[in-house]
Structure 1
Amino acid sequence: MDNVYALHKCRVLRVYDLTDEEKLFLFRFEDPEMAESWTFVPGQFVQIAMPGVGEVPISICSSPMRKGFFELCIKKVGRVTKKIHELKPGDFVGVRGPYGNGFPMKEFEDGDVLLVAAGIGMVPLRSVFLYTVDNRWKFGNITVINSARYGNKLLFRKELEAMRDIAEAENIRIIQTTTRDPDWSGRVGRAHEHIKYANTDPKKAHVAVCGPPKSYHDIFEKLLEMGYDPRKIYVTLERRMKCGVGKCGHCIVGTSTFLKYICIDGPVFGYYDIISTPGLI
């Protein structure tokens, strides 16, 4: 039987400061066989282990189309992530995964795609976005809504700005908005307030949402008001995950007769799972 806790050695290739709290890391598998065979679905996560310190679950934020490499955006919030932020190109980490259920990208094909990110929600949704760009011919119109309190907190802001010309040519609409930045010269308002500007057809669009749980009510309300199919609305959650394989019970939500493990049943859930499972949001 395979050891679910087995780690694979990965080399840090690049470290890039996104904000004063988040860094973007590029990793490569050292084992050629692992580099060739390893893949994932947008929305899945890995466990990053720092020897002698611990490990943390982190969503993959790159496209699965590039074999042997993957990117993680990591926020410095605790002991393990603080140590990860000290890594330099050439250093090594232990990785296991990928884990969890990702977005059903096959179902997304042949229709429009709307991505709604608030706060650090752009991290897992970047994987979805880059995958749709890498497979552009499989999808219809695409809109990305990226929102944060301040302009300097908009994750992947420069990357999305740099894609403006390509986006226009490819029927991709990129909306970046802030809610509290007096120096911001672009769009203002919360993510749900900009759904009306999307170039997606509610009748044939799939929606991926990620952000603070308190933002979901307004986002859901606006999507349903505009006619988006609730069966095609998906949310990715990362709350309370720890071991990644359903052994520790740390991320169990629901009731005694209706339990869900976020790390196994999720982190991507459909709209009806979200509204019917106590504790998911």
Structure 2
Amino acid sequence: MAFVALSEAEKVYIVHGVQEDLRMDGRGCEDYRCVEVETDVVSNTSGSARVKLGHTDILVGVKAEMGTPKLEKPNEGYLEFFVDCSANAAPEFEGRGGDDLGTEIANTLYRIFNNKSSIDLKSLCINPREHCWILYVDVLLLECGGNLFDAISIAVKAALFNTRIPRVRVLEDEEGLKDIELSDDPYDCIQLSVENVPCIVTLCKIGYRHVVDATLQEEACSLASLLVSVTSKGVVTCMRKAGKGSLDPESIFEMMEVRLVLGRCLDLAGSAGCLLPPWSHCGNSPH
């Protein structure tokens, strides 16, 4: 994770502000920064999206390639994730400095999509046991300004929403040999349903309270955070703790009350490929 150095006085100022529900940029504890979502930004991909959340800038590209189904799931396609932490995003990512963070983000994405409800993987199957579509999801961190996981989840959902997969016909000749024919019509394609794709809500514990959409300075004051992936219907698909500190059960229950409303708001951005709801622009709480 990107690092920012703070003095003890700065940390005390941030913590005391959070206790009074007043953060350094004027937001309340449950307010998001303005989020911008732009789709179809990379021409040589099947789908793409760019998300700007404060000073965090994420670019996601999806490429659909034909491959062989996995042995344990012969009638399904699958997704592969790769995360590149650019040295321009943070100086500590230079060289192989961002590899650990990239692996952590990719593993979190695998956990989110490791269920039958997020994406209809059977729709990616062309010919059972022989051919399927593999979606290679490449995530590039252009700038790191805090709250990476939330921004990445929105960008991935928006990129999948923008993905167009060519329609395929399986032809069989008289000898039983099968041939695959791709449609030449650019408008004759398959669009994925992202209705059940969850978005991540990260809740950082600072002092005795928690905040959403933490900045780098606020993340430096937090010893533990809770990552919750939630669908637009309020279904939690994944939850994990991050950081070296601990979270007591009472804090977790309090955090879980917030993730439902915020999860629905984030879902609007990821599936619509546009600006978040009006409350995000002015820093108002969705409550």
Q: TM-score, normalised by structure 2?
A: 0.28
Pair member with larger Rg: 2
Relative CO higher for 1 or 2, CA cutoff 8 Å, sep ≥ 6?
Answer: 2
